[in-house]
Structure 1
Amino acid sequence: MEKKTFCRICDVGCGLIATVEDGKIISIRPNPDHVVSKGFACKKGLKYHEIVHSPDRVTAPQKRRGAKWETVGWDAALKEIGSEIKRIQKEYGPDSVALYVGNGAGFGFLHPFFAQALLIGLGSDSAYSSATQDCSNKFITAQHMYGFPMTQPVPDFENAGCFLIMGANPYATKMSFRGVPDVMNKLKEASERGCRIININPRKTETVRAGGEHHYIRPDTDIFFLLALANELIKINAVDHRKVSRYMKNFDKFRDAIRNWTPEKAAEVTGIAEETIREIARTFADADGSSIYCSTGINMGRNGALTFWVSEAINAMTGNLDRKGGTTVNKGLVDFPKMGAKNRIMMTDKTSRIGGFKAVNDLFPGSLLADEILTPGGRQIKALIVAAGNPLLTLPDTAKTEKAFKSLELLVSVDIFRNMTGNLSHYILPGITPFEHADINYLFHSLMGITHRRFYQYTDRLIPPLGEAKDELWIYQELCRHGGGKFFGSRAIHYWLHLRRFLRKIPLIEKGMAFSHEQILDMVLKLSRKKGIKRMRRHPDGVLLPQYGAGTFLGKRVYTEDGLVNLAPDPMLEAMEKLEEEWQWEKKNSRKLKLINMRQLLTHNTFMQNAPSLVEGRNNSNYLYLNPSDGEKAGFTKEEILRGGSREAEVYNETGSITVPVIFTEDMMPGSAAIPFGWGHQSADGLSRASQTGGANVNYLIPSGTDHVERLSLMAHLSGVIINVRPAGGAKEK
């Protein structure tokens, strides 16, 4: 039987057709009739059934006794975990129990709400997620500029005359925060139409193949390039003063703050010539629609929020915000930013215990999680629940994180696998895959409208949950109940759920009392004045909605207090005060090798490395990508360099060291190196395929602690870290 559904690995949501026989997914192919993806899907989605039916799936609750695991029943596991939660919170306080939500949970609609409900129910503010490793700079920037974190303008490059891509490789990511299926062909079409596509990156990425040009930039100096570009645009009178005066504020403050950041000054540290910066500014100003798009290469630097802010300010002040060919702001099923701004949803003023960092999207910095566990005192974390994540592999300073996790009095993993974090857990509670529950588009699409094409879709589950696996909604409710909390912190919901549990014991009404994905999603669709589930089942390819294009945002859906876009928020101006010191630091360290993070097409979700088809041949490891000139400086022979690699390199710094195979390539800017993240599963004996892969975890090289977190965004400093390289087995450079 063929069933239509959609992928939930990344923020595109490509339409899929699965062949299901006897409760097993046999194969997956693209859905040619899907309203947005139109027959496109990447290999990750097409091989996801290898994850669903992996022999490594955890399908019953597991309890660790020493180094051994034993299967336990749900009742026993929940009672024991609940008892520990109550004991720990009584002894150390509510915030001693923390929750970390990983990327694997982020692309379902309901999971974020119910994760929050668990913490609220337990009375804890200790919330963490993978967002502070890859994108929280965008949320805090939007909050300060537009009034709500999830107001995210997206580039209309299909109609642009100039499109500037910084710190991004859409080939691998399908353009995060826009979600474009078949993005390479769409970029190629834009280039052939006459759009000048300018890629700025320390690495010449695969995206350049789609057309356009590439300029190398010294890792983590993007802020200086953009400040100079903004300065030059003002100098050549490229500001749309009519739009600025009518819809924006604090332009004068912005202009004055960037006055001294000239192309000449930027050229000294970025490696991009001053005349090139001026020429790009002229192109940007003269084009009929221009925009700047930034992604993780920007987000993960020391100044992710500052850099993204300047890029957004450039789009806005030049009149390209809310313009065809510039950037536009779509709308979800409802105007969630309006409701969110009014009720300050995801905009609390709570601060972290370590460092006093103000929460972003109600989250604390993941890179400080180890310090919050290891540092004695009030609010010290003693218990951690990890949902669909592997923070031991993905957080900075892996050695410190491992030490912290081993010290916890309670560590619970809610997951489909026993990964590296799971190996240290006291309990593993088996969750389900996206194909085992009903769903609609995830939050970016459905509520925020952060997508290149406005649409919505519904899918039934393809197969029932395997074994005793439960959906996370049920698991969160039960953890909260057994831990002595009230779900969502509501007495009414608590007793309503209690009544439903009691009534489900009555055979005749058991089915009607289930608190299911289907019931909740049906209610959401109806409340948003869209078709309910019964009618949506008639549209398995999705439903297109009218676009909110140019001219629908400024003056209408900006939810700052005065309705104006703030071009110069005070927190951004205050953060700029450190830039002169950082510029001097860049000059002083200009000859040192700097590391950038790197996303790959098949493996940028770490759990996907347990899918055999995705880690075949050369894809069985990550690599150090190094310019040949840097290879020679590191001590590799000319013969090794000419072969393009084949031996291993030791990469090290003050934080740690790893050994990985090396590939020499002119695609890397001299003075920069790249290592893909998410590898190093060798000790994960619960992942039979991933544990057999090569490579190493780059986060052994990434420092943690308060000095390595951007205060504005809580982002970890994952890119632009100084490293040393030598042939494996050689002498270390001091």
Structure 2
Amino acid sequence: MKRAPALAALSGWGFEPRLRVRGLGGCASGLSAAALADEILLDGPGQVKALIVAGGNPMMAWPDQNRAFAALNTLDLLVTMDTEMTATAELSHYVIAPKLTLETPMTTYMPESVKYYGTTRGFPQPYAAYTPALVPPPPGSDVIEDWELFWGLAQRMGTMIDVTMRYGNGPQAEAPPMTFTLDPAGAKPTADRLIELSCQGSRIPLDRVKQYPDGHVFESDQRVLPRAPDNDDRLELGAPPMLEELEQVLAEDNRAVEADYPFRLLPRRTNNILNSFGRRIGKLAGDGVNPAYMHPDDLARLAIAEGECVTIRSPHGEIRGIVAAEAALRPGMVSMAHGFGANPGSDDPRRTGGNTGRLISVEDGYDPVTGLPRMGSIPVCVERLPAAE
């Protein structure tokens, strides 16, 4: 049985190693991806010269897309593992095609583990499932599983692979970490063997989970106990650094900027697409673009019709977008989803949308802890394109 005390106030940033740019260090969420482009572009000791992208798409996700484009084109080696030719893959020296989900064995370990990072995700009951590979790759396919790339690298480098499985954080961990080591000089494991190693010591043995092809809700006698009698930790609801930042935001005077950029760009989610994944699947993404939603009164005032292509400009950059009306928005807002568009020089707003990252500066208004710049509430102006365009 585990107790459920509050975590005492702790410092979640300033960890080593530190980056060379903007005075950023490590924090509870890791090193700053928003600063990685600069770490690639900045000469000198510690410069990043090689990057392996596993299931990501930096060209669509990183803020300041033009800077990301320059950085990735500077690398001595860029390797991308993905199931499609993404904007990042287009720039890569090597593109590795991994097997698809139905071509690999799988468990519910990942969705089960999200309970350690939030209270509103994961399974509400002790559900678990194992599914074997359901279909083989098509004949002649040159594909591997994601882990096989890293196994092959470790094998060629003569490096052992140390794996640590954690079950929660700090005093709220359900169990001590479980570790094991893989020796690439030995026999190559199967994906099923790696799953077995990862599930060692699980409360419900993997062999039992496998007895239920459709998954199963298992019995549980777990209970959460109250805090220990000698524990008087409290949540810190008004941390001084947070209050200081709020005071700085309150004191901002944006009137000069708003004179030239009267709209605010707001991010939004699309129900059927996760970041940039799913844009090429018509049944999920429709026409595959991210419209610039605006209030009908704003469109009327600017004499812009739905479906028109416009220029959206911020103090940092500009993109083209296709406008759409949405009465639920407040006047003065432009709402677009991140993760769309194409690489610089390949823009086609009617086919791929616009990349909002070009409107964002990684150096202005960034968070001093995470390095993340302001991704929303960005001042912009909206202009009709000249008739010739």
Correspondences of 1:545-624 after superposition (within 5 Å): 545=218, 552=224, 555=227, 564-568=233-237, 572-585=239-252, 588=255, 592-616=262-286, 619-624=287-292
Any gaps of 5 or more consecutive residues in structure 2? 165-179
Residue equivalent to 1:421: 88
In the TM superposition, residue 465 of structure 1 has moved relative to its aligned partner by: 3.9
What is the CA–CA distance in structure 2 between the aligned matches of 1:248 and 1:515, rounded to whole Å?
A: 39
Structure 1 residues 729 and 691: alpha-carbon distance in aligned structure 2, compared to 1, 3 A threshold: closer
Which of 621, 624, 630 aligns to 2:298? It is 630
- SS for the counterpart of 2:354 is coil
Contact 2:82 2:96 in 1 (8 A): yes
Residue equivalent to 2:184: 497
Contact 1:681 1:693 in 2 (8 A): no
Amino acid at match of 2:186: L
Mapped pair 1:486 → 2:143:
no
Correspondences of 1:366-405 after superposition (within 5 Å): 366-405=33-72
What is the CA–CA distance in structure 2 between the aligned matches of 1:631 and 1:548, rounded to whole Å?
A: 59
In the TM superposition, residue 435 of structure 1 has moved relative to its aligned partner by: 1.7
Identical aligned residues as a percent:
21
In the TM superposition, residue 607 of structure 1 has moved relative to its aligned partner by: 2.7
- SS for the counterpart of 1:499 is coil
Residue equivalent to 2:356: 698
Structure 1 residues 528 and 607: alpha-carbon distance in aligned structure 2, compared to 1, 3 A threshold: same
Residue equivalent to 1:670: 331
Any gaps of 5 or more consecutive residues in structure 1? 1-150, 152-245, 251-340, 501-513
Structure 1 residues 376 and 547: alpha-carbon distance in aligned structure 2, compared to 1, 3 A threshold: farther
Correspondences of 1:211-360 after superposition (within 5 Å): 349-360=16-27
In the TM superposition, residue 373 of structure 1 has moved relative to its aligned partner by: 0.6
What is the CA–CA distance in structure 2 between the aligned matches of 1:469 and 1:248, rounded to whole Å?
A: 45
What is the CA–CA distance in structure 2 between the aligned matches of 1:487 and 1:623, rounded to whole Å?
A: 45
More helix, by proportion: 1
In the TM superposition, residue 646 of structure 1 has moved relative to its aligned partner by: 2.5
| TM-score, scaled to structure 2 | 0.79
Which of 374, 382, 386 aligns to 1:717? It is 374
Structure 1 residues 682 and 386: alpha-carbon distance in aligned structure 2, compared to 1, 3 A threshold: closer
Mapped pair 1:464 → 2:168:
no
In the TM superposition, residue 609 of structure 1 has moved relative to its aligned partner by: 1.5
Residue equivalent to 1:451: 122
In the TM superposition, residue 526 of structure 1 has moved relative to its aligned partner by: 4.2
Structure 1 residues 436 and 717: alpha-carbon distance in aligned structure 2, compared to 1, 3 A threshold: farther
In the TM superposition, residue 415 of structure 1 has moved relative to its aligned partner by: 1.6
Contact 2:313 2:381 in 1 (8 A): yes
Structure 1 residues 464 and 429: alpha-carbon distance in aligned structure 2, compared to 1, 3 A threshold: same
Structure 1 residues 679 and 530: alpha-carbon distance in aligned structure 2, compared to 1, 3 A threshold: same
Contact 1:453 1:547 in 2 (8 A): no
In the TM superposition, residue 577 of structure 1 has moved relative to its aligned partner by: 1.5
- SS for the counterpart of 1:386 is strand
- SS for the counterpart of 1:385 is strand
What is the CA–CA distance in structure 1 between the aligned matches of 2:224 and 2:83, rounded to whole Å?
A: 42
- SS for the counterpart of 1:352 is coil
Contact 1:658 1:697 in 2 (8 A): yes
Structure 1 residues 539 and 691: alpha-carbon distance in aligned structure 2, compared to 1, 3 A threshold: farther
What is the CA–CA distance in structure 1 between the aligned matches of 2:28 and 2:110, rounded to whole Å?
A: 14
Contact 2:128 2:209 in 1 (8 A): no
Contact 1:649 1:727 in 2 (8 A): yes
Deviation per residue, 1:571-591 (Å, 9 max, x gap)? x41242132231122674677
Structure 1 residues 451 and 374: alpha-carbon distance in aligned structure 2, compared to 1, 3 A threshold: same
Deviation per residue, 1:153-173 (Å, 9 max, x gap)? xxxxxxxxxxxxxxxxxxxxx
What is the CA–CA distance in structure 1 between the aligned matches of 2:96 and 2:7, rounded to whole Å?
A: 50
- SS for the counterpart of 1:620 is coil
Mapped pair 1:519 → 2:187:
no
Identify the range of structure 1 (574-583 vs 676-685) with the bigger mean alpha-carbon deviation. 676-685
Amino acid at match of 2:386: G
What is the CA–CA distance in structure 2 between the aligned matches of 1:664 and 1:545, rounded to whole Å?
A: 48
What is the CA–CA distance in structure 2 between the aligned matches of 1:456 and 1:376, rounded to whole Å?
A: 49
What is the CA–CA distance in structure 2 between the aligned matches of 1:625 and 1:667, rounded to whole Å?
A: 10
Contact 2:98 2:143 in 1 (8 A): yes
In the TM superposition, residue 562 of structure 1 has moved relative to its aligned partner by: 5.7
Mapped pair 1:646 → 2:307:
yes
What is the CA–CA distance in structure 1 between the aligned matches of 2:241 and 2:334, rounded to whole Å?
A: 31
In the TM superposition, residue 456 of structure 1 has moved relative to its aligned partner by: 2.0
Mapped pair 1:539 → 2:196:
no
Contact 2:35 2:371 in 1 (8 A): no
What is the CA–CA distance in structure 2 between the aligned matches of 1:350 and 1:682, rounded to whole Å?
A: 31
In the TM superposition, residue 424 of structure 1 has moved relative to its aligned partner by: 1.0
More strand, by proportion: 2
Contact 2:107 2:130 in 1 (8 A): yes
In the TM superposition, residue 376 of structure 1 has moved relative to its aligned partner by: 1.5
| TM-score, scaled to structure 1 | 0.44
Contact 2:264 2:380 in 1 (8 A): yes
Contact 1:596 1:674 in 2 (8 A): yes
Cα RMSD for the two superposed structures? 3.7
Mapped pair 1:660 → 2:331:
no
Deviation per residue, 1:358-399 (Å, 9 max, x gap)? 323562111111111111122111111111111011111111
What is the CA–CA distance in structure 2 between the aligned matches of 1:691 and 1:651, rounded to whole Å?
A: 12
What is the CA–CA distance in structure 1 between the aligned matches of 2:59 and 2:241, rounded to whole Å?
A: 33
Contact 1:650 1:728 in 2 (8 A): yes
What is the CA–CA distance in structure 2 between the aligned matches of 1:578 and 1:682, rounded to whole Å?
A: 34
- SS for the counterpart of 2:26 is coil
- SS for the counterpart of 1:497 is coil
Amino acid at match of 1:538: Q
Contact 1:415 1:430 in 2 (8 A): yes
Residue equivalent to 1:144: none
Amino acid at match of 2:216: V
Structure 1 residues 521 and 348: alpha-carbon distance in aligned structure 2, compared to 1, 3 A threshold: farther
In the TM superposition, residue 629 of structure 1 has moved relative to its aligned partner by: 3.3
In the TM superposition, residue 652 of structure 1 has moved relative to its aligned partner by: 0.7
Amino acid at match of 2:227: G
